[in-house]
Structure 1
Amino acid sequence: MAGEPQDDCLFCKIVGGQIPATIVRETETTVAFRDINPQAPTHVLVIPKAHYANAADLAVEEPGTAADILREARAVADDDHLESYRIVFNTGAGAGQTVFHAHAHVLGGRGMQWPPG
């Protein structure tokens, strides 16, 4: 059920403390941790503690938590002294989503090209 922890979800297991992660920030509604396969000097994932399959579902069901993710993404960038950075939400396998728990990638510390991908 949406919002409830899923037994087979990697990110739910990180939230629950079953899988270790390098956590850089945590709030009542979010957890931010370093990506294990970084694509930039700063590559942090910001996730909701509640399970939603993607950012679109989260925005509909818990818009306040979706805003919390963006606020924490900015805080991650501030903590890493980034003047410019990218926030990416992938929605669906065709867009590159591999963990089906809503999450934002905060990427910075190098030049970003356009278009991405």
Structure 2
Amino acid sequence: MRGARFGRLSAGIPDLPQHDERFDTLIAAEGVRVERIVSTGQASPPGFWYDQGWDEFVLVTSGAAGLEIEGEPVRRLDPGDWAHIPAHVRHRVAWTDREAATIWLAVHLPPGPEAP
């Protein structure tokens, strides 16, 4: 029997050491995955760029982060700020808050149509 599921993004977050980052899949269906990411001061390694074969929508719900799209300045994301990153748009996490956990809600989707 299928039933509704409920949760809280901030629930169950342990005190993480600065070097650990946590990824929790909240729900997955064909072609779509929703995950919670908890960052504690992490950043992408120097020179590393994500180049994913899927679209990604990210929303920062607590903490803060710097998101860099290749060729653009780093953009600060605070709680409530979101970004849609189309497939194969190179990007990296420049920094995340070192004082408080940064909680991201990430939705991974099949690539959408090309932007006009």
Question: What TM-score, normalized by structure 2, do the two folds share?
Answer: 0.35
Question: What TM-score, normalized by structure 1, do the two folds share?
Answer: 0.34
Q: Which structure has the bigger radius of gyration?
A: 2
